[in-house]
Every structure is written in structure tokens, then in C-alpha cells.
Amino acid sequence: MEKFELEPALKDEIRARVMGDGFVKIVQSVRRNGRSFRISLRPVVIGGARKIQAEMTDDGHVQVKNLDAHGVTTGLEEILDQKGARDLHLITARGDLHVRVTKKGHVLVSRSAETEREVVAMPHDRIKRTPLTSFDATALLRATGLADGDGKIRASMRGKYDQVNEFLKAVGELMGDAKAEDGRTFTVVDCGCGKAYLTVALYHYLVQVRKMPSVRVVGIDRRADVVESARKIASQLDIDGQVTFVEADLSDVGLADVTDGERVDMVISLHACDTATDEALAKGVEWKARYVLAAPCCQHELQKALSGGCGAGDFAGLMRQPILRERLCDILTDSFRAMIMRVLGFRTRVVEFVDGEATARNIMLKCEYGVKPGQAAPVGEYLALRDYWKVTPWLETRLSTLLEKHLSRYS
Ligand SMILES: C[S@@+](CC[C@H](N)C(=O)[O-])C[C@H]1O[C@@H](n2cnc3c(N)ncnc32)[C@H](O)[C@@H]1O
């Protein structure tokens, strides 16, 4: 017997436990060259019938398959014939079996004491699905460079992959079960799209997961090199008719540059720098988009205004510390943004859209148009905070034409 190989008797025991009554789950994890691969088999109930579901996670890229009898046998043999260091955990009603194959090829086996565990096959929809694992996203992930040639998420792109995936989740949550109106193209504008990771992913999500029949996504960025690369990606994915790009500063882009007269349904922006986030929010308002989702990035405007000391008052001790001043200004800037969107008729929530490990910039404004603009409560709250700090937020100046009539009634 070679090193790393399981003994025939151990393989037979595992086969018998997986194929017999009381099988709960088998999971094998392999770590090699800094990458992790995990495969699990477990019974599930689909349409009242018991099946075995295989879940393969390859460096974070998850694939789920429901197997027939032949598939189970093949899948299990692959697990048993795996080479290299690995951990295998088999759970059955009678107890657990652990097998650890060390880096030197030694096979260590341990068995738990006999138990009487109740076995319940889970409905298959209990599997955690994410937008990017709900369809075959391999081509998309490869073309954007989020994944390598084998379709594995690159370690260096893990944070961006998570941001995009969670952004899509937030889009899904905000839209609920809303559908595109019959015969209309659902139009999205991505402000500060960069290399278009989110732009093309959102297109696929709307078409493949939400089954929207006609979708158009327009990315805007002022950098020629990223727009060129974004166009190449869309062309490679054969969606360059539906996903297009405008190379321009956001402030110079008008409605006619992004649609042929159709309404814009959604405006998004992911980490558009500084006031570009405000510009994205302003576009959403002016273009009468129903949905606006913006994850802000660096924010300097308010810092400049507050570093002069105006409005700092009792906060002078806090403002003295650059890191605390920066965080306070970030919070105030996003508060003003959220409040202005509320004043202008958007139901607005500020959420953490992604884990802090994926990015420290994990705040998102999720806005949906749908209430009467200029109501007393949001206007009052906005004016109170603004006047306390004695500042004029950039977004107020940018949207002054629309805001003035609402603010002047209560000031
Ligand atoms: C940090 S990158 C984020 C790119 C992309 N959304 C993402 O998450 O991968 C910000 C992008 O916004 C673009 N940008 C910033 N300000 C802009 C403006 N005023 N007009 C157009 N693009 C802008 C930059 O060129 C850059 O590509």
C-alpha cells in the first residue's frame, strides 16, 4: 500500500456507512499549495424523494449537484481515492468516523463512541445559495479575472468576489419579487464601474437568476483604460450589445448618453471615489430610478469642512484625532446622504452589505423610490443634523434645485 492511501478495510467501512441506513454526511477537505478543496455528500429530500446531494467547494467556488445512484458511487470512490494530506469526517446515526492523512502520508483514524442519532434528510433548498452560485458563472468569473483559467476564485480577488456577490444579494433583496414591466427593457447604470466586475455580474444575475427577458446595463467610468478592459470583457462574454460603457466623468453624463429615451430603473455604484457616490445618488434621483444602491468609498468633502473647526464644538477632542475624525466624517456624510434620499421620496436603509473582511468600506445605502417627497419628519431630521454641524453637504448643493422647495418650507 502506498503512503496517503486508505486501507481496503477502511474504504469498505466507509462505503458501508455511506450506502447503509443512518448516513448523515461525509465531508473531505484537502489543502494544497494554499488552496482548499472540499467535497461533501449528504442525503436530501427533493420532491418527496431521497437523493444524495454533492457540494464541491473549490477555493470558495461552490457547485452543487444532485446525484443518481451511479453518481453517488463515483463521487464516493473519488473521495476514497483522493491523494495527499486531507481530512475526512463521516457522520452516521451510529457515530462519527474521522480520518486524517498527514502531510507525510500517515493515515490516522478515530471513531466516536456508538450513538443513537436521529437522521433527518434536509430539504435541498436549505443549501446556502448565493447569486453567483445560482447559475453557471464560470465564463463570467474567468472573463472578469475574478477566477483563474480553471474557474477557481483567485485568492487576490476573493474580497472583490464577495463584494460583488453580496451586492447582487442586496439588489435581489431590494427588488423583492418585482419583475420588469412587460415589453420594457430593464435599464441599470453602474456609476464608476471600473473593470466592470459588478456591471457584467449584475447583467447575468438579472437575466439568468431573475429571468428578466430584456436587460441593459451601462457602466460609466472616466478612466479610458478600465473602460477599454470592460468593453473587452463584455465582448468576450458576447453581451456587448446589452452591456455597454461610457467613458466620461459622471458629472458630464446625461440621460441621453445612457438610454435611447427609456427610463433608468436602477442606479448602482460600488466604491466610486469621494463625491462620485453623491453624483451616483443624484443621477438616481434626477433620472427617476426606482432603485438606487450605493456603497461609498473614500469621502473627503466633509472632512475639509469640519477640519476648520466649525460645528466641532463639544466634539473638539474627538476631531483632534485624525482617525476618529475620518470615521465621524464618514458616518456624517452617509447620514446626510441617506437623509437627503429620504427627503426626496426614497425609502432608505443603510446596511453593512458585506463582511468587514471583504472590505472595510462595507456600508451601503439601499434606496427605493415610493413615498411622497418633502415630508416634515425627514426634512426636520435633516435640517437638525445639518444645522448642528453647520455644514452644507455636497449632495445638498448638487441637488439644490430639487431640495430647495422642501427644505425652505421648514427652515
Ligand atoms: C475604486 S474603483 C471601483 C470600481 C468598481 N465599481 C469596482 O467596485 O470594482 C472607483 C472607480 O470609479 C471611477 N470614478 C471615480 N470618480 C469618477 C467620476 N467622477 N466619474 C467617472 N468615474 C469615476 C474611477 O475611475 C474608478 O474606476
What residues does each domain of the chain span?
8-128, 132-410
Indicate the helix (H) or strand (E) that contains 159: helix 158-175
**Which residue among 171, 193, 257 has the greatest number of ligand 1 atoms within 8 angstroms of its CB, and so is best to mutate?**
193
Ligand 1 contact, 270 CB (< 6 A): yes
* Orientation angle between helical segments 158-175 and 197-204, nearest 10 degrees: 40
Closest atom of ligand 1 to CA, residue 269? 6
Query: Considering only CA atoms, which residue is closest to atom 12 of ligand 1?
Result: 192
C-alpha of residue 221 to centroid of ligand 1, in Å:
6
Dihedral of the alpha carbons of 216, 220, 223, 229, in degrees to the nearest 10: -10
Quick check: 348 and 381 in contact, CB under 8 A? no
Ligand 1 contact, 158 CB (< 6 A): no
Quick check: 62 and 132 in contact, CB under 8 A? no
CA distances from 9 to 89, 129, 271, 377 (A): 17, 37, 56, 73
Ligand 1 contact, 273 CB (< 6 A): yes
132-410 carries CATH number 3.40.50.150: yes
Ligand 1 contact, 226 CB (< 6 A): yes
Residue 56 CA to residue 54 CA, distance in Å, equals 6
DSSP 8-state symbol, 179: -
Ligand 1 contact, 246 CB (< 6 A): no
Quick check: 16 and 118 in contact, CB under 8 A? no
Which among 72, 70, 99 is positioned nearest to 11, based on CA atoms? 99
What is the full per-residue pLDDT of the chain (411 aa) written as tens digits? 677 889 999 999 999 999 888 888 999 998 877 777 889 998 887 766 778 888 888 766 777 888 888 888 999 999 999 988 999 999 888 888 999 999 888 999 998 887 766 555 555 544 467 899 888 899 999 999 999 887 888 999 999 999 999 999 999 999 998 887 778 999 999 999 999 999 999 999 999 999 999 999 999 999 999 999 999 999 999 999 999 999 999 999 999 999 988 899 999 999 998 899 999 999 999 999 999 999 999 888 888 777 655 556 788 888 888 899 889 999 999 999 999 999 999 999 999 999 887 788 899 999 999 999 999 999 999 999 999 999 999 999 999 999 999 999 877
Which among 151, 195, 166 is positioned nearest to 359, based on CA atoms? 166
Quick check: 280 and 267 in contact, CB under 8 A? yes
Which among 250, 242, 248, 256 is positioned nearest to 207, based on CA atoms? 242
Residue 314 CA to residue 335 CA, distance in Å, equals 19
End-to-end CA distance of the chain: 85
Ligand 1 contact, 194 CB (< 6 A): yes
If you compute the radius of gyration of the chain from its CA atoms, what whole number of angstroms results? 26
